[in-house]
Structure 1
Amino acid sequence: MPPSHHPSPTILLPQLPPKTLVGIDLVAFTSTANFHGIRDLPPGWHFLYTGTTESFSLRCGSWFHVGDVSHAGKGDNETALVRAHAQPPQQPLGADIYIWKWSTESESLSCLLGESDSDRQEAMRYKANLGSLWQSGGLFRYRSRVSPAMLLNKPGSAPLEARLAEEDEEVEEEGRRDWRQLTNRLSPEVLSRIVGSPEQDVDGHLRWTVTSASTANRDADHIPGVDSPSTEEKGDDKTGVRKTIEREKEFNFLPVDLKRTWREGAIGRERTEGARDKTWALSDLVLRNSSRVGGEITVDESTGEAQILGELQFTFLMVLTMMNFSCLQQWKRLLELVLTSRQAIVERKSLVSEVIRILLKQLQRCDDVEGGLFEMDGDEGGHFIHDILKKLRRSVDEVAPQGSNSTVRTELGKLEGWVKEEYDWELNRESVVRRGMLQLEDGEEVEMEMEDNDADEETGEYAPMVVDLGEHHTPVEEDGDETSDLDDVRY
């Protein structure tokens, strides 16, 4: 790399041990002794994580942004990203160089914070050695996907190599486009709310750290007498020095309570409708996380919706890369809240449409992990998503019938076509025979019924229940306030 040229965005990983699991966005590999970092980072969000082994080890990673972070979180704004890549901002040499040094004590990467002269001098030495690392091949070029040429065991003929190079370019561009669509709703505000304040390195770059053990308080297993406080002191028998050990970061997720989706004080029919249609709970969540403008007179609901979209992307990617259990639970909670809000299909059609678009892209990449992360053909992840999509399809047919100009119906059509082709899922309830006669080999006919038909037909354990309240039954609570059993009646 000629010293006169502005270096491409690069992340240096000095002192990284060989055979360490390294992941950058959706690509993971094992480091070698000659691996010192990754060059040619494209503009936008990136997530880099490490693990001492490929499996059964704690993974530590950090989010960081290349380019102007003010463009982050505003949707699929590819024009701004291309412009930033074509004309890099005038910055001092080395301003796009990220230095994360391996810490043997924590077995993770830590950035140089610039709190002392020694840190700043160390950063300058690494930057000065950048050219020799480039020439020696110690810096790997950024890849969004595995190249088809990498899968070739032996060199082929010239036409074959030319075709592989062309396919490689197409696959790489597709991978970068997918990553942008998977992160286009992430913003510094979303990350700071979920994982806390970011670290700032010697050049002013921000990064938000996460581990595979991080969890939200609601998803943690609390054992009385065993749980440790937020910090604890641990003594060293050899040195006598006591060290302060910090607990894992706690996620601050949006408060989604699917067991109570109606307003406080609601009774009777209002509670029943709130349980069936979660639009009130969704609107309440949006309003409570929206910003106020004009002296707190006007509420900007787009900021509240952006928090939901950003968290939906964050939780999915933390499952995909870090296999974080708490993020998986919150991802499912957010999907169920938005996609079972019937009136939101009309009242918040832009939010619901965006969630469907995000979900389609996420399902297309959920098999990036070997074996399929959500095991879509199994009983857990596949059943949950299939059931949610069937309910959504039925709600769309009722709220936004065929022929109406509905962006939600349009996006759902794309998703429905993909899951039909990929998993053979049928979302239209009317297209599936749920009860009928089956003729056996000996000619005998038996009546068959689908196992999950009770919920749709409101039969069996889902059948309505009639409660006899009596003529003068008015129970009194301990505080003396009279209440009505109508709270427990379903209409």
Structure 2
Amino acid sequence: MSLHPTTTTLHLTSIPPGTFIGIDLTSFTSTPAFQGVKLIPSGLHLLYYSTTTDSSLRNGFWFYAHPGRVISKTWDPEAEIATLVDAPPSAGLEERLYAENLTPYKQRDAEGRVMVGGGGQEWRALSGCVRERTLERCLGEGWVCGTAGVSGMDYDAGEEVMMGFPPGGGGGVDVMWTRVDLKVTWPAGTIGRERTEMAKDRSWALNNLLHGLASENQDDAERELLGELQLSFIMSITLGSYSAMEQYRRLLGLCLTSRACVFHERRKLFEGLLETLLAQLHYVDGDFWAGFVDGGDGDDNWLAKLLRRFGGGIKEAVNEQQQADPDKDSIVRLFRDMESLTRRKFDWVLDHKDVVRRGLVQTEDGDMIELELPGLDEEDETGEYAPVIVEEVVGEGEGGGGTMAGG
């Protein structure tokens, strides 16, 4: 029986002194006497670690805490990966001895105060949609994860050869992310204007992905998508996982470019998405967004561009629906909260009308020159970035003609 019957105890043995240890959003360096963590509240948690605080490679595992549970892990000096062992057979003297060297679980509450054995509002806001099914689907049976974990979407066949992997073998797929292909967002056989529209508005691709995730109903699928978004974000901030960062960007790239379904069949999903994104924006600083490959700096950041595009779609939808009081709409309110937060915290401007995008300026010599904001055409999908419909060249023997989208 555990000495802490209302919480979970994580018993860690043979941990080398100076080891970096993190649990959820709190981290510390182990001491020679360190034996684990106590007073862990019920729910899903992540423990992660590395040999030193400055190590770029971290490993970790998720676990489910419930009252009275004792989880025992021991350090494997060869593999540097904690291995699950049986719980101590005795709850008597042995447990009382190691219990003296257990670190209490600490997290921050909503006001930012460190709470022992409680708090955790920030962690729940960032991980509330992650479920056991999410972990089993993405991480496998053991719920193990690490900085170096990869998925099948993280490299192509050409890169495999360059990295010295056997064709089709990869470096070992450790993460099974939901497949997101942002280059093909229409059903097979779609051509012409319909294909062009589906390239601009990815609602079909989003709905298709959700149908693949559904186990019982669509609400379940939407929560799974939000859970995977949260899981990839958490693995990005705690493990620095490249694979997780790329999946996080792919999922947001799909959701924030889906317009037609926002105010209709996927309203509940987008309310949850914006609430989740607000919590994530609250937690990280601007350096996190710039840390993505080709992430961009400041207002030119990849997420700022996506949010501006999403905000433009919201305004168009509101105007088309001719709502009497759009301020009462939950999605409009959440996005305005996001505009306010990102302007205050990151100096991002998400509303097009607040940005001078093109204009004349006078030089010291009195000359007038025209300046244009970089990336203007790319964000608006105009100029060379505009989708076009081109004529399909059909062989003589195939007969007929048609159109297809290109760009």
Q: 1:381-392 to 2 correspondence within 5 Å?
A: 383-392=301-310
1:314, distance to aligned residue in structure 2 (A): 0.5
| SS across alignment from 1:22 | strand
| SS across alignment from 1:219 | coil
Alignment pair present for 1:217 and 2:152: yes
| Partner of residue 193, structure 1 | 137
Given candidates 318, 332, 345, the residue that maps to 1:422 is 345
| Partner of residue 37, structure 1 | 36
Q: Which is worse superposed, 401-410 or 304-313? A: 401-410
1:306, distance to aligned residue in structure 2 (A): 1.6
| Stretches of structure 2 lacking an aligned partner (at least 5 in a row) | none
Alignment pair present for 1:366 and 2:284: yes
1:141, distance to aligned residue in structure 2 (A): 1.1
| SS across alignment from 2:309 | helix
| Partner of residue 395, structure 1 | 313
| Partner of residue 376, structure 2 | 453
Q: Distance in 2 between matches of 1:326 and 1:374?
A: 15
| SS across alignment from 2:263 | helix
| Partner of residue 296, structure 2 | 380
| Partner of residue 23, structure 2 | 24
Q: Distance in 2 between matches of 1:332 and 1:489?
A: 24
Q: Residue deviations 1:198-229, cap 9 Å, x none?
A: 3xxxxxxxxx1112111111204412793269
1:56, distance to aligned residue in structure 2 (A): 3.8
Query: Are the aligned partners of 1:319 and 1:325 in contact in 2 as well (CA < 8 Å)?
Result: yes
TM-score by length of 2: 0.87
Q: 1:48-127 to 2 correspondence within 5 Å?
A: 48-67=47-66, 88=67, 95-112=68-85, 114=86, 123-125=88-90
Amino acid at match of 1:311: E
Q: Residue deviations 1:66-104, cap 9 Å, x none?
A: 12xxxxxxxxxxxxxxxxxxxx5xxxxxx4111111111
| Partner of residue 250, structure 1 | 174
Amino acid at match of 1:272: T
Q: 1:91-490 to 2 correspondence within 5 Å?
A: 95-112=68-85, 114=86, 123-125=88-90, 128-135=93-100, 138-145=101-108, 169=113, 176-198=120-142, 208-220=143-155, 221-223=159-161, 226-227=164-165, 248-292=172-216, 300-347=217-264, 348-367=266-285, 372-375=287-290, 380=296, 383-401=301-319, 403-404=325-326, 405-455=328-378, 459-462=382-385, 475-476=394-395, 481-482=398-399, 484-488=401-405
Query: Are the aligned partners of 2:7 and 2:65 in contact in 1 as well (CA < 8 Å)?
Result: no
| SS across alignment from 2:280 | helix
Q: Residue deviations 1:380-430, cap 9 Å, x none?
A: 375100000000110000112462353211211111110011122221111
Q: Distance in 2 between matches of 1:127 and 1:419?
A: 53
**Structure 1 residues 46 and 381, CA, compared in 2 at 3 Å: closer, same or farther?**
farther
Query: Are the aligned partners of 1:185 and 1:309 in contact in 2 as well (CA < 8 Å)?
Result: yes
Q: Distance in 2 between matches of 1:464 and 1:107?
A: 50
1:466, distance to aligned residue in structure 2 (A): 7.8
Q: Which is worse superposed, 480-489 or 348-357? A: 480-489
Q: Residue deviations 1:92-118, cap 9 Å, x none?
A: xxx411111111121121111x5xxxx
| SS across alignment from 1:329 | helix
Q: Which is worse superposed, 481-490 or 11-20? A: 481-490
Amino acid at match of 2:272: E
| SS across alignment from 1:106 | coil
Amino acid at match of 1:141: P
Q: Distance in 2 between matches of 1:142 and 1:215?
A: 30
Q: Residue deviations 1:6-38, cap 9 Å, x none?
A: 374211111111011111111222111011111
Amino acid at match of 1:213: A
Q: Which has the larger radius of gyration?
A: 1
| SS across alignment from 1:270 | helix
Query: Are the aligned partners of 1:346 and 1:400 in contact in 2 as well (CA < 8 Å)?
Result: no
Q: Residue deviations 1:177-216, cap 9 Å, x none?
A: 0100111101111111111113xxxxxxxxx111211111
1:474, distance to aligned residue in structure 2 (A): 5.8
| SS across alignment from 1:13 | strand
1:458, distance to aligned residue in structure 2 (A): 5.4
Query: Are the aligned partners of 2:126 and 2:279 in contact in 1 as well (CA < 8 Å)?
Result: yes
Query: Are the aligned partners of 2:23 and 2:45 in contact in 1 as well (CA < 8 Å)?
Result: yes
Q: Distance in 1 between matches of 2:118 and 2:402?
A: 58
Query: Are the aligned partners of 1:339 and 1:352 in contact in 2 as well (CA < 8 Å)?
Result: no
Query: Are the aligned partners of 1:350 and 1:407 in contact in 2 as well (CA < 8 Å)?
Result: no
Amino acid at match of 2:210: V
Q: Distance in 1 between matches of 2:402 and 2:13?
A: 67
1:129, distance to aligned residue in structure 2 (A): 2.0
**Structure 1 residues 381 and 177, CA, compared in 2 at 3 Å: closer, same or farther?**
farther
TM-score by length of 1: 0.73
| SS across alignment from 1:23 | strand
Q: Distance in 2 between matches of 1:43 and 1:170?
A: 18
Q: Distance in 2 between matches of 1:16 and 1:440?
A: 65
Amino acid at match of 1:268: G
